[in-house]
Amino acid sequence: MRFTIFFHVIAAFILSPMIPGIINKVKAFFAGRKGKPVLQMYYDLAKLVQKGAVYSRTTTWIFQISPLVTAAVGIIGVMLVPLGNTPGLLAFSGDYILLVYLFGVSRFFTVLAALDTGSPFEGMGASREVQFALLAEPALLLGLCALSALSGETSMNTMVISLQAGTRPVLACAIFIVLLAENARIPFDDPTTHLELTMVHEVMILDHSGPDLALIEYGSALKLWAYGSLTASLIVPQGILSPWASLGAGFVALLFVTVTVGVIESIMARLRLIRIPQLLVGATILSLISLILIIR
């Protein structure tokens, strides 16, 4: 049993850069292109690690510490989140609050580093990021609270497992929307463009280079993995008792979530900036509905 838990964490460390690759492949398939190789992010990371970092003279230590925080938060986040019926490596009561605020800390440091460069362009990205985060956070917290109220548990592992079927899809939708918002995916943010109008997350890491950029990219891949496996845990049906089978089901569900992200990126355009808050309010409403349905 313990071994499957370790296996999940190690798989997350090794495989998480593949998730953006799979998303890119799905998008390429929809566009009728061949697309980048699935392992492209590994090559990028290897290339970045070999380079040296360049720091602007206006930046302070905050600018240098923020990539470390992003990567560290990603690593802890992956350890906290369960996949399928396999519990996370670190589990204690109330760990879902820690998860939400860990990602909050990482975002805080990214925003601080963006402001630290003194570039107005990065400041604009930081402002947008904070605005969306403000709306995405209640959706995630309320969703996890609904999970907690339903199961009477306060640890993510136990509450995902003891969840009844009816409200699962609603909660999964809410957390999936939060996933798209928090990981700078298409209805909220276009990760592939470098246009002033469309950038939110990308703009904040423009001034990072070399190993710092590699840490940020790796951290965001781990973050995507953490949110993805949280969503996947809500899709995996209960009652798969064998640890390896449940882990396998978790991986299949994670793959499904990844492909869904790719499909959504292919068939949707990026929303206008003023429409984004409405979608995030919608996610919050979904969480609230499931909370009301649970505690009625």
Give the residues lining the site for other proteins (CB under 8 A). Answer: 165-167, 170, 277-278, 281-282, 285, 288-289, 292-293, 296
Q: Sign of torsion, CA 266 196 114 104? A: negative
CB closer to other proteins, 176 vs 218: 176
Q: How far is the CB of 173 from other proteins (least distance, A)?
A: 9
Q: How far is the CB of 294 from other proteins (least distance, A)?
A: 11
Q: Which residues contact 141 (CB under 8 A, 6 or more apart)?
A: 97, 100
Contact assessment for residue 211 and residue 53, using Cβ atoms and an 8 Å cutoff? yes
Q: How far is the CB of 167 from other proteins (least distance, A)?
A: 8
Q: How far is the CB of 146 from other proteins (least distance, A)?
A: 13
Phi, psi of 93 (to 5 degrees): -70, 135
CB closer to other proteins, 134 vs 281: 281
Give dist(CA 265, CA 100) in Å, integer: 25
Give dist(CA 114, CA 107) in Å, integer: 10
CB closer to other proteins, 245 vs 281: 281
Closest Cα to residue 203, out of 211, 212, 195?
195
CB closer to other proteins, 49 vs 293: 293
CB closer to other proteins, 10 vs 285: 285
Q: How far is the CB of 177 from other proteins (least distance, A)?
A: 13
Residue 226 CB coordination number (10 Å)? 29
Closest Cα to residue 283, out of 141, 136, 149, 93?
136
Q: How far is the CB of 285 from other proteins (least distance, A)?
A: 5
CB closer to other proteins, 130 vs 285: 285
